[in-house]
């Protein structure tokens, strides 16, 4: 681990982020124009000169930063991570380091990152940037372990420092000096990056913005970055990571805008994933793929708003909570906690109408109710202890029907010690 610090959940450096629990990932770039996802240039081996022509027609007139930020807010998300540059090498911000950017190369001519930074500041949402630091199919000298542009460029002629010093670092400097405080930098696919270059980029970022967090994908060397990025769509197991962690997840099965993939998660599925992740102590970063016109597809927006309505009824059980203290996964849902409270997130399709039974709650419980119930009507319960077996059992009488949609949170108030 070297000089890298190990952050715990309570660490002040990462506290804003671990408290946030839920963020919006946005994959938006030139690739949206082809509506085949963000890997289209690589998959179709589109020559750089051809791909550049997309910029000439890229004019997302309907882009409205305030509307995107409002959607994130409505969804109950506290931070936004947007692709400032994905693997195609196209900067979605005004870059002096490379004219292949949205301000200089398109008729649109606006800087969406600037507009988002302002909208986020006004709304109290933390803005964060995704930056593809190793893969860049546009630059002749970017060099990745496997996914290179080999149709335009000869691998043998690549001289990585020209990309690293000439584009990656200058653009990161632009992102860290022109848009106000950046909550975190989300790096991806570090395959082939040396340990020295990984350390170089971490030091470079921290030198410009010491409070900017960095995800673990900055490097393939274990332990780097301020928190662990799980694999794409991977949730993991309880207690698996010593450090704070985050699951990046798609709403359909793609990241960038596509018309080919129409398998969408329902609001119910998202809520269940969210409580699964936060019950294990992680964050969920949920992706949307805006259109070339600059809008977030309405189906995604509708589902996110429905998730947000559920979160608003249950916010006490989400923001600033810790994961479950119980080692085993609960078959009916998840648990989050905060001092003096235990929240049991029960999946409605597993509603135990004949009573909720919890093992291992040692403290004395004073009050139990459904969080979504505006009257917070108390539920009857009984605590028993078999001292010989050290078995603590809590049995709660539940209403016949769940009190909320999809997942019902049962709040346990603990008596003062």
Residues in contact with ligand H79 by the rule CB under 6 A: 38-39, 43, 147, 188-189, 232, 248, 255
Least Å distance, CB 189 to ligand H79, is 5
Query: What is the Cα–Cα distance from 355 to 378, expressed in whole angstroms?
Result: 14
- Residues forming beta bridges with residue 285, ordered by sequence position: 23, 248
267-279 and 298-313 helices, crossing angle to 10°: 50
Given the complex with ligand H79, which of 189 and 209 has the nearer CB atom? Answer: 189
Given the complex with ligand H79, which of 201 and 394 has the nearer CB atom? Answer: 201
Given the complex with ligand H79, which of 39 and 108 has the nearer CB atom? Answer: 39
Cβ neighbours of residue 105 under 8 Å, at least 6 residues apart? 52, 55, 56, 58, 90, 99
Least Å distance, CB 136 to ligand H79, is 12
Query: What is the Cα–Cα distance from 390 to 380, expressed in whole angstroms?
Result: 23
Query: What is the Cα–Cα distance from 314 to 374, expressed in whole angstroms?
Result: 11
Least Å distance, CB 16 to ligand H79, is 22
Given the complex with ligand H79, which of 88 and 174 has the nearer CB atom? Answer: 88
Query: What is the Cα–Cα distance from 67 to 70, expressed in whole angstroms?
Result: 5
State which H helix or E strand residue 204 sits in.
helix 195-208
Least Å distance, CB 41 to ligand H79, is 10
SS (H, E, C) 7-43: CCCCCCCCHHHHHHCEEEEECCCHHHHHCECCCHHHH
Given the complex with ligand H79, which of 38 and 246 has the nearer CB atom? Answer: 38
Least Å distance, CB 262 to ligand H79, is 17
Least Å distance, CB 135 to ligand H79, is 7
Least Å distance, CB 86 to ligand H79, is 6
Query: What is the Cα–Cα distance from 140 to 161, expressed in whole angstroms?
Result: 11
Given the complex with ligand H79, which of 28 and 369 has the nearer CB atom? Answer: 28
Given the complex with ligand H79, which of 87 and 313 has the nearer CB atom? Answer: 87
SS (H, E, C) 53-78: HHHHHCCCCCCCHHHHHHHHHHCCCC
Q: Which residue is nearest to ligand H79 (CB)?
A: 39
Strand runs labelled E in 206-318 = 213-214, 228-229, 245-250, 283-288
> How many Cβ atoms from other residues are within 10 Å of residue 415's Cβ?
10
């Amino acid at each position: 681990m070297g000089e890298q610090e190990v952050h715990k959940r309570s660490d002040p450096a990462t506290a804003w982020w671990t408290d946030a629990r839920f963020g919006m990932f946005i994959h938006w770039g030139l690739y949206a124009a082809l509506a085949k996802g963000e890997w289209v240039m690589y998959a179709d081996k589109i020559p750089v000169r051809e791909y550049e022509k997309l910029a000439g027609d890229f004019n997302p007139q309907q882009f409205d930063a305030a509307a995107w930020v409002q959607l994130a807010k409505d969804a109950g998300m506290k931070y936004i991570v947007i692709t400032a540059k994905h693997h195609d090498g196209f900067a979605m911000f005004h870059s002096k380091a490379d004219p292949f950017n949205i301000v200089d190369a398109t008729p649109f001519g606006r800087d969406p990152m600037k507009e988002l930074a302002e909208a986020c500041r006004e709304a109290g949402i933390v803005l964060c940037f995704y930056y593809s630091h190793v893969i860049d199919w546009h630059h002749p000298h970017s060099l990745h372990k496997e996914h290179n542009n080999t149709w335009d460029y000869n691998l043998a002629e690549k001289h990585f420092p020209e990309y690293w010093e000439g584009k990656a670092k200058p653009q990161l400097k632009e992102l860290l000096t022109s848009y106000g405080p950046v909550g975190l930098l989300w790096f991806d696919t570090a395959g082939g990056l040396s340990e020295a270059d990984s350390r170089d980029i971490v030091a470079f970022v921290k030198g410009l913005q010491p409070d900017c967090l960095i995800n673990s994908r900055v490097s393939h060397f274990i332990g780097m970055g301020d928190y662990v990025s799980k694999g794409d769509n991977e949730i993991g197991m309880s207690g698996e990571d010593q450090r704070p962690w985050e699951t990046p997840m798609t709403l359909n099965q793609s990241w960038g805008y596509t018309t080919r993939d129409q398998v969408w998660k329902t609001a119910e599925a998202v809520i269940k994933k969210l409580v699964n992740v936060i019950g294990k102590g992680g964050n969920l970063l949920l992706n949307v793929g805006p259109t070339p016109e600059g809008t977030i597809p309405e189906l995604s927006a509708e589902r996110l708003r429905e998730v947000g309505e559920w979160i608003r009824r249950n916010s006490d059980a989400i923001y600033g909570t810790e994961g479950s203290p119980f080692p085993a996964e609960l078959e009916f849902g998840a648990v989050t906690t905060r001092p003096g409270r235990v929240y049991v997130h029960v999946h409605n399709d597993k509603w135990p109408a004949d009573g909720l039974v919890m093992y291992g709650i040692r403290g004395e419980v004073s009050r139990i109710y459904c969080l979504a119930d505006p009257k917070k009507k108390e539920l009857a319960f009984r605590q028993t202890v078999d001292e010989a077996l050290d078995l603590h059992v809590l049995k709660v009488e539940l209403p016949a029907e769940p009190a909320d949609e999809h997942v019902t949170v049962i709040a346990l108030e603990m008596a003062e010690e």
